[in-house]
Structure 1
Amino acid sequence: MPTRHADVAAVSAWISDATMAPSMHNAQPWRFRYAPAMNVLDLRMDTARSMPRADPSDRGMHISCGAALFNLRVAAAHAGWSARVRLLPDPADPALAATVVFTEYDGTDPLSMLYPAIVRRHSSREPFTDESVPDALLDGLSGAARSEGASMTVLNDWQLDAVLDVVEEARQDESLSPGVRDEIAGWTGAGAKDSAGIPGYAFGPKRRDGRAPVRDFAAGRPDPGRESAVFEQSPCLTVLGTSADRPQDWLLAGQALERVLLQATLDGLSTSLNSQAVESAELRWLLRDPHAPAASAFPQMLLRLGYGPRVPRTPRRAVSDVLDIERQTPP
Structure 2
Amino acid sequence: MPTTDHLVETVTSLVEDAVTAPSMHNAQPWRFVHRAGTRVLALYGDPSRSLPAGDPDGRGLHLGCGAALFNLRVSAAHHGWDAAVELLPDPRDPWHLADVVLQEPGPADPGPADLYPAVRQRHTSRFPFSDERIPAEIVDGLRGAALLEGCRLIVPGSWHSDAVLDLVRDAALFESADAALREEIASWTHTGKPGEGPATEGIPSYALGPRQYGVSAPARDFDAPRDLPGRAVAAFEAEPQIALLGTMDDSPADWLRAGQAMERVLLQATLDGLSTSLMSQPLEWPELRALTREPGSLTGFVHMVFRFGYGPRGVATPRRPVGEVLSVE
> Normalising by structure 2, what TM-score?
0.95
Matches within 5 A, 1:106-255: 106-107=106-107, 109-190=110-191, 191-209=196-214, 211-255=216-260
Structure 2: how far apart are the matches of 1:274 and 1:109? 32
- After superposition, the C-alpha distances for 1:200-254 in whole angstroms (9 at most, x for unaligned) are 0101100013511000000111300000000011010000001100000000000
Paired residue for 2:274? 269
Structure 2: how far apart are the matches of 1:62 and 1:15? 17
Gap regions ≥5 residues in structure 2: none
CA separation of 1:110 and 1:84: change in aligned 2, threshold 3 A:
closer
Structure 1: how far apart are the matches of 2:205 and 2:303? 26
Q: Work out whether residues 187 and 193 of structure 1, in 8 Å CA contact, stay in contact via their aligned partners in 2.
A: no
1:282 is aligned to 2:287: yes
Structure 2: how far apart are the matches of 1:230 and 1:291? 34
Structure 1: how far apart are the matches of 2:150 and 2:100? 18
Moved over 6 A (4+): 2-6
AA paired with 1:37? G
Q: How far does residue 106 in structure 1 lie from its aligned partner after superposition?
A: 4.2
Structure 2: how far apart are the matches of 1:247 and 1:312? 30
Paired residue for 2:82? 82
Structure 1: how far apart are the matches of 2:172 and 2:227? 18
Structure 1: how far apart are the matches of 2:200 and 2:304? 24
AA paired with 1:302? V
SS of residue paired to 2:203 = coil
Paired residue for 2:305? 302
- After superposition, the C-alpha distances for 1:167-226 in whole angstroms (9 at most, x for unaligned) are 111000000000000000110124452501000010110001351100000011130000
Paired residue for 1:103? 103
SS of residue paired to 2:94 = coil
Q: How far does residue 290 in structure 1 lie from its aligned partner after superposition?
A: 1.6
SS of residue paired to 2:112 = helix
SS of residue paired to 1:42 = strand
- Aligned match for 2:324, one of 298, 317, 321: 321
SS of residue paired to 2:84 = strand
Paired residue for 1:329? none
Q: Work out whether residues 210 and 232 of structure 1, in 8 Å CA contact, stay in contact via their aligned partners in 2.
A: no
SS of residue paired to 1:312 = coil
Q: Work out whether residues 80 and 106 of structure 1, in 8 Å CA contact, stay in contact via their aligned partners in 2.
A: no
**How high is the sequence identity, in percent, across the aligned residues?**
52
Q: Work out whether residues 21 and 258 of structure 1, in 8 Å CA contact, stay in contact via their aligned partners in 2.
A: yes
Q: Work out whether residues 197 and 315 of structure 1, in 8 Å CA contact, stay in contact via their aligned partners in 2.
A: yes
Gap regions ≥5 residues in structure 1: 327-331
Q: Work out whether residues 77 and 109 of structure 1, in 8 Å CA contact, stay in contact via their aligned partners in 2.
A: yes
Structure 1: how far apart are the matches of 2:242 and 2:112? 25
Paired residue for 1:71? 71
AA paired with 1:319? V
Paired residue for 2:22? 22
Q: How far does residue 3 in structure 1 lie from its aligned partner after superposition?
A: 8.5
- After superposition, the C-alpha distances for 1:121-175 in whole angstroms (9 at most, x for unaligned) are 0000000001001111001100100110101001111111101111111000000
SS of residue paired to 2:141 = helix
Paired residue for 2:296? 291
Structure 2: how far apart are the matches of 1:277 and 1:21? 21
SS of residue paired to 1:7 = helix
